[in-house]
Structure 1
Amino acid sequence: MKRVFLKGDFVEGGGQIIPSLHDDAWLKNIVESSGQLSRPVKVVVDCANAVPGPFMLRLLDTLGADYTPLLCEWDASEPHHGADPTRPKNMVMLADKVKEIGAELGIGIDGDGDRVGIVDEKGNFIYPDRLLPFFAYDVLSQRQGMSEEARSIVFDVKSSMSVEQAILAAGGVPVMERTGHSFMKKWLSEHPECGLAAEMSGHIFFNESGWFGFDDSLYITARLLTLISRLPTLSNGDETIGQYLDRIVPSLPTTGEVKVPCLEDIKDSTVEAIKQAYQNEGWAMSTVDGVRVRYEVDGEYLGWYLARRSNTEEVLVMRAEATSEAALSKLMTHIERLSGPHIDISKFLATVN
């Protein structure tokens, strides 16, 4: 393929290009599903000079938001920062603007328009998995007494333990799935009554209210702002976005997602060795995607540790989280003891002082 490309000796086809503009219908479908804002939420939106920018502005105008745009013009060179809203470094400009103008929140969009991330009113970075309970409370409020499948909320193995606990508190059935948007979409297609799924990476899939079960940053933005505009405590000033999220899905001490170098041909065997090390000591675990072990002391769930192979890079993806800094520190000593003999995890251990 490279040789053909460099030579430029392409086969000429006999087809034709027929422009088919669909943005009007797309935006119409979004607003018909999400509804209009009940009040003009004050928000900053950073589109990172990526594809969704111009369409985001049209959507926010249609919704009636009080918005400030950042980097909503197309520029593939990404002159200011990358288009990945799950990386705190890419959300600094957004956070600064939110604090400068006193916005309620800031929303960051990814390059191809299927993920979002947010910062709260203080500019604090919010891991995207914490948005799932925000939406789950809304979806589940209309599904109490329905089937277990209808009350299922799907999250990926990298998501916080707070997510699972919040889903239970909202009357839902938490379902842990493999990381990867294709797996989420497959699960939803096989369980059509399920209304909501999400990943830590910011992919959020609505399968209700007339939406179609796929991840769309414009639709996620519309649902987020609409819900914020309708929640009484956020509208009457009793709570800020940050306070509301801290109440329903607390932020816990975590390493964040860490990519640990691992050669392709030993990724599977390394994960298997790590799994065996914890199994030998009787740790409870999920193996739906790599190995995610539960850290329990006297039957109390205090944290977890994940090691899974990346499907796109020569790394193992690791993350640990616990209910307190002390519990996380203790968990990391176990990880060093049990995982350390099988792979160099110095980069991972360095995330916790």
Structure 2
Amino acid sequence: MFPPPKPLLLPNTYAYESEPMVKPTGFREYDARWLFGKEINLMGVQALGMGLGTLIAELGQPKEIVTGHDFRGYSASIKYALIAGLMSSGCKVHDIGLAVTPMAYFAQFDLDVPCVAMVTASHNDNGWTGVKMGANRPLTFGPDEMGRLKEIVLNAQFASGAGSYVFHENYPARYIADLTKHAKLARKLKVVVACGNGTAGAFAPQVMEAIGCEVIPLDTELDHTFPKYNPNPEDMEMLHAIRDAVLQHKADLGLGFDGDGDRCGVVDDTGEEIFADKVGVMLARDMSAITPDAQFVVDVKSTGLFHTDPVLQAQGARTEYWKTGHSYMKRRTNELKALAGFEKSGHFFFNVPPGRGYDDGLVSAIAICEMLDRAPGKSMSDLKNALPKTWSSPTMSPHCDDETKYGVIDAVVKHFEAAQANGDKVAAQPIRDLVTVNGVRVTCEDGSWGLVRASSNKPELVVVVESPVSEARMHEMFEAVNVVLRRHPEVGAYNQTI
């Protein structure tokens, strides 16, 4: 019998090397994230694999799964521990080796395999590990599946069986061939391709060259110490590095990919970053011009332009605001048969064509280049400047422990619900609308809004503000939200602010 995992074991002890350790908070809303060595050990990862194999059988799926790993110094060992657990539960494992996350999603279709377990901490700092999982392509697990997986693993309710293992040699070539099978761009674009020394650096320059771009590589050498900055296209440090390269090389645009390649950030030809929700509006304009009355899904962190943009209104585009998180967005985009889903973090979900419903930073990058290709004589900044002006913050994340963050959010939601009921003003204006599908998004009478929610994958909260009126109003919304947060001592310092 495999023992139930312990929530904590001391490193460099007999128990640490002979018993599984799994901190319960690592089971998050739609994937799993732990600090490797401190919150999970290799035997704990093996227990996770056994639990996942057990859950796959419970869900009625064939016990067959694709797995790969990102470029961190410990990811390969974690993957093999996971594989050991999957095989001991009776799974046939298809190993595609070093990969970006969307390559594993692609392999589910390409190899006709129902399930996926990608070992990656995505954009989290070094020291983190995790697994993105699914058992019904192109969807990934949500709270129900993650809750049941947690129960199975922590209670050691494992099924046993005789699994098998297949390694697919040089699998990235199949993924790259699929991405680049379409006609090349008619327009020669000079593009900075930035990868922050993460996994996408092994593939992104080759893909962008193959579609006809002149590529300026930036930090594309693989280095799991991330010597320059963390590969996260929402972080201003990465965006500023892309800006500098765009200006130096007089590039048409800059594209930044996160650590596991499922997100893409954009800097225009003037060196200005375009937050992903605004890129989504530009893509929605382009796509709805080709497909009238198009349906889109966007997350609650995204700009209000999806509802107010006159071009989208004239083209009959319909947009629903939904929960933040790649699994939530993927599922809702699939349910509504939407043309695409856009998330402010840079996760974009394109249904057929041009995608298969999952998030892939390279599919997004190709769609952006094709949008420019369909706009002869116009630059990326021209397309950006054609949007109605709003002032938007980046995603800002104050620290808040996993054990307390949801309680804080519940209290913040109740605060703004009471303010609305009492007719209280926020940032000196009446509340026009509250959206509480995921944290709280409070919109004032002039359209300025602020969002507070709990991060689904880190011990943090998430704060975003926007105003269609002025930069000053954006700052006022931030202050109005922040003063409520500061009533809770559990909320710590921000990673970045406006």
Q: Please indicate the TM-score interval, normalised by the length of the shorter structure.
A: 0.7 to 0.9
1:315 to 454, 457, 460: 460
Normalising by structure 2, we get a TM-score of: 0.61
2:451 to 303, 306, 323: 306
- CA 1:347–1:256: 2 relative to 1, 3 Å: farther
Query: Is the 1:305–1:321 Cα contact (8 Å) retained in structure 2?
Result: yes
**What are the equivalent positions in structure 2 for 1:166-181 lying under 5 Å apart?**
166=309, 167-181=312-326
- CA 1:64–1:315: 2 relative to 1, 3 Å: closer
Query: Is the 1:270–1:343 Cα contact (8 Å) retained in structure 2?
Result: no
Query: Is the 1:85–1:91 Cα contact (8 Å) retained in structure 2?
Result: yes
Task: Please give the root-mean-square deviation of Cα atoms over the aligned residues, in Å.
Answer: 2.9
1:138 to 283, 286, 295: 286
- CA 1:114–1:173: 2 relative to 1, 3 Å: same
Quote the residue 2:250 is aligned against. Answer: 102
Quote the residue 1:19 is aligned against. Answer: 168
- The structural deviation recorded for 1:103 is 0.6
2:474 to 308, 324, 328: 328
Quote the residue 2:334 is aligned against. Answer: 189
1:317-345 per-residue CA deviation (whole Å, 9 max, x = no partner) reads 222211213433554565467x3684368
- The structural deviation recorded for 1:223 is 1.5
Query: Is the 2:408–2:488 Cα contact (8 Å) retained in structure 1?
Result: no
Quote the residue 1:290 is aligned against. Answer: 439
- CA 1:43–1:267: 2 relative to 1, 3 Å: same
2:488 to 321, 340, 343: 343
Size of the aligned set, in residue pairs, is 333
Quote the residue 1:237 is aligned against. Answer: none
How many Å separate the matches in 1 of 2:330 and 2:376? 32
- The structural deviation recorded for 1:181 is 0.4
User: How much identity, in percent, do the aligned residues show?
Assistant: 27
With a CA cutoff of 8 Å and minimum separation of 6, indicate the structure with the bigger relative contact order. 1
Aligned partner letter, 2:260: D
- The structural deviation recorded for 1:23 is 2.6
- CA 1:304–1:41: 2 relative to 1, 3 Å: same
How many Å separate the matches in 2 of 1:54 and 1:164? 38
Query: Is the 1:136–1:170 Cα contact (8 Å) retained in structure 2?
Result: no
Aligned partner letter, 1:327: R
- CA 1:6–1:32: 2 relative to 1, 3 Å: same
**Residue 31, structure 1, aligned to residue 180, structure 2:** yes
3-state secondary structure, aligned to 2:266: strand
3-state secondary structure, aligned to 1:260: coil
- CA 1:304–1:65: 2 relative to 1, 3 Å: same
- The structural deviation recorded for 1:4 is 7.2
Quote the residue 2:417 is aligned against. Answer: 276
How many Å separate the matches in 1 of 2:240 and 2:474? 27
How many Å separate the matches in 1 of 2:15 and 2:250? 54
Query: Is the 1:153–1:174 Cα contact (8 Å) retained in structure 2?
Result: yes
Quote the residue 2:107 is aligned against. Answer: none
- CA 1:277–1:59: 2 relative to 1, 3 Å: same
1:216 to 360, 379, 394: 360
**Range moving further from structure 2, 57-66 or 306-315:** 306-315
Quote the residue 1:244 is aligned against. Answer: 383
**What are the equivalent positions in structure 2 for 1:259-274 lying under 5 Å apart?**
259-262=397-400, 264-265=403-404, 266-274=407-415
- CA 1:41–1:24: 2 relative to 1, 3 Å: same
**Residue 201, structure 1, aligned to residue 345, structure 2:** yes
How many Å separate the matches in 1 of 2:321 and 2:240? 31
Quote the residue 2:56 is aligned against. Answer: none
2:295 to 121, 127, 152: 152
- The structural deviation recorded for 1:61 is 2.5
3-state secondary structure, aligned to 1:267: helix
Aligned partner letter, 2:301: K
3-state secondary structure, aligned to 2:386: helix
3-state secondary structure, aligned to 2:170: coil
1:118 to 266, 272, 275: 266
- The structural deviation recorded for 1:112 is 0.4
- CA 1:341–1:351: 2 relative to 1, 3 Å: closer
1:263-311 per-residue CA deviation (whole Å, 9 max, x = no partner) reads 5333243233323233224432111111111110xxxx33111122223
How many Å separate the matches in 2 of 1:340 and 1:22? 47
- CA 1:49–1:326: 2 relative to 1, 3 Å: closer
- The structural deviation recorded for 1:198 is 1.1
Normalising by structure 1, we get a TM-score of: 0.84
Aligned partner letter, 1:172: A
